[in-house]
């Protein structure tokens, strides 16, 4: 998931009057920060051109897709204050149509959430609580994704892969890149890539052949006690879906209550 802390929209046991969302599925690797320096005795930094080349092929290919749908199954580790590690799963269905249409549907053990971006506004609806929030956003997908992550504390599955320059966002501070090898992920041949930064390690499995799709991500957060991992497997890619623009338009259901998005920093400031 995004390394920026996502703020939950509903506290268990009592309603919250402001809405934020964590539509997490794909562990995102945008903005890898902190330059690395080799300590005495450590191996020299390695940046394998083959690993970087495979990642670039993947980013370029996804950026050129006019539309797609994909299923994302996310496995997230959460470490409690007493050190106990818990695993959580979510399943998301992401629908995208360029230049600026996006829909994400997420299901977990607590609720179902739908996010709509129609090129003008973002709307988020939670089925169980029947709360929804709507806000005007930039007309560009890059701008909308920035606002979602930085201001509205919302993570979209695979958001980093949707940027116009996904490669730059994923690798600008990578210090180690390795091509691990050609492997099998289910019945799909994939290139296994591994990357390091001072704060995180991440791995990407890229489909072999003329459709270099991302098939799996695993990210390890080294700066957190216990080094929790978040992983996602991407399946059921449809690269030629027939999508009507109505899919991206939100109409509040009967009885839905409109509330505000939970803004970044709101839980800290108490506002």
Taking CA 191 as the corner, what is the angle to CA 188 and CA 192, rounded to the nearest 5 degrees? Answer: 110
Q: Measured between alpha carbons, how far is 42 from 161 in angstroms, rounded to an integer?
A: 32
Q: What is the pLDDT of residue 10?
A: 26
- What pLDDT does 55 receive? 97
Q: What is the mean pLDDT for each group of 10 consecutive residues in the chain (271 residues)?
A: 30 31 34 34 73 97 95 87 88 93 88 94 94 93 90 76 87 94 96 92 95 91 80 93 95 94 58 48
Where does residue 175 fall: left (phi above 0), alpha (psi -120 to 50 degrees), or beta otherwise? alpha
Tokens 């800290």, residue located = 268
**For position 198, what pLDDT does the model report?**
87
Predicted confidence at residue 159, as pLDDT, reads 77
Residues 120, 140: Cα–Cα separation, whole Å:
9
How many Å is the Cα radius of gyration of the chain? 19
* Closest C-alpha among 265, 255, 264 to residue 131: 255
pLDDT (0 to 100) of residue 157: 64
Domains of the chain by residue range: 18-264
d(CA 75, CA 91): 9
User: What CATH number has the domain spanning 18-264?
Assistant: 2.50.20.10
């Amino acid at each position: 998931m995004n390394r920026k802390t996502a703020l939950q929209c509903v506290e268990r046991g009592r309603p919250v009057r402001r809405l934020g969302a964590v539509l997490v599925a794909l562990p995102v690797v945008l903005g890898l920060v902190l330059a690395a320096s080799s300590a005495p005795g450590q191996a020299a930094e390695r940046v394998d051109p083959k690993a970087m080349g495979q990642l670039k092929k993947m980013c370029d290919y996804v950026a050129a897709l006019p539309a797609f749908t994909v299923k994302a199954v996310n496995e997230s580790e959460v470490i409690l204050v007493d050190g106990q590690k818990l695993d959580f799963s979510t399943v998301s269905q992401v629908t995208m149509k360029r230049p600026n249409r996006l829909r994400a549907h997420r299901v977990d053990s607590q609720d179902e959430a739908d996010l709509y971006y129609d090129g003008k506004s973002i709307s988020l609806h939670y089925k169980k609580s029947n709360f929804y929030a709507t806000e005007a956003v930039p007309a560009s997908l890059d701008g909308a994704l920035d606002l979602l992550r930085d201001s509205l504390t919302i993570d979209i599955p695979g958001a980093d892969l949707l940027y116009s320059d996904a490669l730059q966002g994923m690798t600008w501070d990578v210090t180690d890149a390795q091509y691990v090898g050609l492997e099998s992920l289910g019945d799909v041949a994939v290139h296994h890539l591994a990357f390091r930064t001072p704060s995180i390690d991440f791995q990407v499995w890229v489909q072999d052949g003329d459709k270099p799709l991302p098939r799996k991500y695993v990210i390890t957060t080294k700066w957190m006690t216990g080094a929790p991992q978040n992983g996602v497997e991407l399946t059921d890619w449809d690269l030629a879906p027939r999508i009507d623009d109505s899919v991206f338009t939100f109409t509040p259901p009967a009885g839905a209550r409109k509330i505000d998005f939970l803004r970044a920093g709101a839980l800290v400031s108490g506002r």
